[in-house]
Amino acid sequence: MKKILLSTMALVMLLSSCTSTCDKPTNVIYLIGDGMGFGAVTSLLLTADEQTGFEMAPVIGLNETCSANNYVTDSPAGGTALATGTRTCNGFLGVGSDSVQLTSILKKAQKMGKKTGIVVNTTLTEATPGAFYAGVTSRKDSYTIAKQFTESGVDIAIGAGLTAFINRPDSVDMTAVLIDKGYDVYLDWKSVLNSQSEKFVGILQMSDVHRRNKPSTKTASAADGAEVCLAAQLAATDDTNDSIRFAEPDRYLEKACIKTLEQLEKNAPKGFFLMVESAIIDGYGHNNDAEGMVEEMQEFDRTLKALVAYVNQHPNTLLVVTADHETGGTSVSYKSYPVNQPEGMQLSFSTKGHSGTVVPIFAYGAGAENFAGIFQNKEIPGIIEELIK
């Protein structure tokens, strides 16, 4: 309660001190937790030993995540709303319900002269990153999405998913296409970390971008007919046979963000737009895996704290944190605790799919005050656009 009061007071003070001349951001970091609803955030807050990045937020809002044709969105439609400002039909990615290509806030930032980046702990062609550069009526069309990625003009991107770039029905090596366009292309984590390039793509192994050293016994099925996301399959992957090539995969997202920020801010007089997705929260929600969700939220929080630290050092930066939808219908269930012997928090789940409950928005830095309130998902990119115009 004390924290809530303090946050409310900070918000009131911020709003009362803010006028129409509030600082406009030069840089934007858009951090999306796939499937990160209130249950996921709560699972972190109740188990954290120290202040979380969420509790550092001066401004908090709510985000209604519906798609154009359902109260419950899937990731392609959810990502499309967050990226383009248009709600589309479930399954559609970067295109409207009429299948016409939309323009994302990342593309608009490019037109304003900003450098752009994408950092994800899933494939670069997955739904959420794809919504920022692609346009297809099926998220499964990863070969087309990979081709569209090569045409995106994004300065720096780090993620996984090499197959869609090289093992293609059209036999085109999209990594060669990227190199022709002036990119440095790295296929291993060490090269990414050591890079001094301002235009590079890191296409890594899944084991580089996500820890899988705790095999899950859960299955990646969506019992009530919802999509089975790639993230759900990854969260359920038994990694005992795979070599862990990166010693700290649970710090990948944080380190990839820091590396990208270092390179994006070079020679960027008009600033940058960086989109980051923590994708696997969704997977643990699909799998109703409480332990995995808490661990994933701990990783998310490490990344969030690094980004909040960057914003504190670069006050011309806006950081907006939200989710495309909630997954799992996750909540904290009642448990009888013996006196003086508190046991672990117990999560319960109401679905193996997504849910339509609102998700939180946390905002930091220049222009953050514009995210206090209740918004539809499609309103968020428009607010960012107005701020960086």
Q: Minimum CB separation from Zn ion for residue 282, in Å? A: 4
Q: Minimum CB separation from Zn ion for residue 62, in Å? A: 20
Tell me: does residue 296 bind Zn ion (CB under 5 A).
no
Part in contact with Zn ion (CB under 5 A); list of ranges 18-26, 128-136, 142-150, 278-286: 278-286
What distance in Å separates the CA atoms of residue 34 and residue 105, rounded to the nearest whole number? Answer: 18
Q: Minimum CB separation from Zn ion for residue 232, in Å? A: 6
What distance in Å separates the CA atoms of residue 53 and residue 57, rounded to the nearest whole number? Answer: 7
Dihedral over alpha carbons 374, 378, 380, 385 (to 10 degrees)? -140
Tell me: does residue 254 bind Zn ion (CB under 5 A).
no
Strands (E), the chain: 27-33, 59-64, 115-123, 156-160, 184-186, 200-204, 272-278, 317-322, 326-327, 331-332, 347-348, 354-355, 359-365, 373-376
At which residue do the structure tokens 């593309």 appear? 107
Query: Whose Cβ is closer to Zn ion: residue 27's or residue 330's?
Result: 330
Query: Whose Cβ is closer to Zn ion: residue 77's or residue 164's?
Result: 77
Part in contact with Zn ion (CB under 5 A); list of ranges 113-121, 236-244, 274-282, 341-349: 274-282
Query: Whose Cβ is closer to Zn ion: residue 277's or residue 282's?
Result: 282
Please work out, in degrees rounded to the nearest 5, the angle formed at the alpha carbon of residue 57 by the alpha carbons of 55 and 61: 110
| Residue 328 amino acid letter | G
Residue 99 phi, psi dihedral angles, 5° rounding:
70, 10
Query: Whose Cβ is closer to Zn ion: residue 43's or residue 116's?
Result: 43
- 3 state DSSP class of 296: helix
Helix runs in 37-188, H state only:
38-45, 75-84, 105-111, 127-130, 142-150, 163-166, 174-180
Query: Whose Cβ is closer to Zn ion: residue 282's or residue 301's?
Result: 282
Query: Whose Cβ is closer to Zn ion: residue 236's or residue 261's?
Result: 236
Part in contact with Zn ion (CB under 5 A); list of ranges 64-72, 110-118, 178-186, 228-236: 228-236
Query: Whose Cβ is closer to Zn ion: residue 126's or residue 265's?
Result: 126
What distance in Å separates the CA atoms of residue 144 and residue 138, rounded to the nearest whole number? Answer: 10
Part in contact with Zn ion (CB under 5 A); list of ranges 6-14, 59-67, 260-268, 281-289: 281-289
Q: Minimum CB separation from Zn ion for residue 347, in Å? A: 17
Q: Minimum CB separation from Zn ion for residue 124, in Å? A: 18
The dihedral of CA 104, 352, 37, 279: what is its sign? negative
Tell me: does residue 229 bind Zn ion (CB under 5 A).
yes
Q: Minimum CB separation from Zn ion for residue 334, in Å? A: 27
Tell me: does residue 274 bind Zn ion (CB under 5 A).
no
At which residue do the structure tokens 């299948």 appear? 99
Query: Whose Cβ is closer to Zn ion: residue 282's or residue 289's?
Result: 282
The 312-341 site mask, x for binding Zn ion (CB under 5 A), equals: ------------------------------
**Binding test (CB under 5 A) with Zn ion, winner from 282, 289, 296, 324:** 282
Part in contact with Zn ion (CB under 5 A); list of ranges 122-130, 171-179, 277-285, 309-317: 277-285
Q: Minimum CB separation from Zn ion for residue 154, in Å? A: 24
Q: Minimum CB separation from Zn ion for residue 354, in Å? A: 6
Query: Whose Cβ is closer to Zn ion: residue 229's or residue 311's?
Result: 229
Residues 6 or more apart from 120 whose CB is under 8 A from it?
A: 126, 128, 129, 158, 159, 160, 209, 276, 277, 279
What distance in Å separates the CA atoms of residue 386 and residue 258, rounded to the nearest whole number? Answer: 26
H or E, element range at 253: helix 252-264
Query: Binding-site residue total for Zn ion (CB under 5 A)?
Result: 2
Query: Whose Cβ is closer to Zn ion: residue 232's or residue 304's?
Result: 232
The tokens for 105 are: 């806030």
Centre a 10 Å sphere on the Cβ of residue 15 and count the other Cβ atoms it contains: 12
Task: Find the helix packing angle between 380-388 and 75-84, rounded to 10°.
Answer: 30
Residue number with the shortest CB distance to Zn ion?
A: 229
Query: Whose Cβ is closer to Zn ion: residue 75's or residue 370's?
Result: 75
Residues at the interface with Zn ion (CB under 5 A):
229, 282
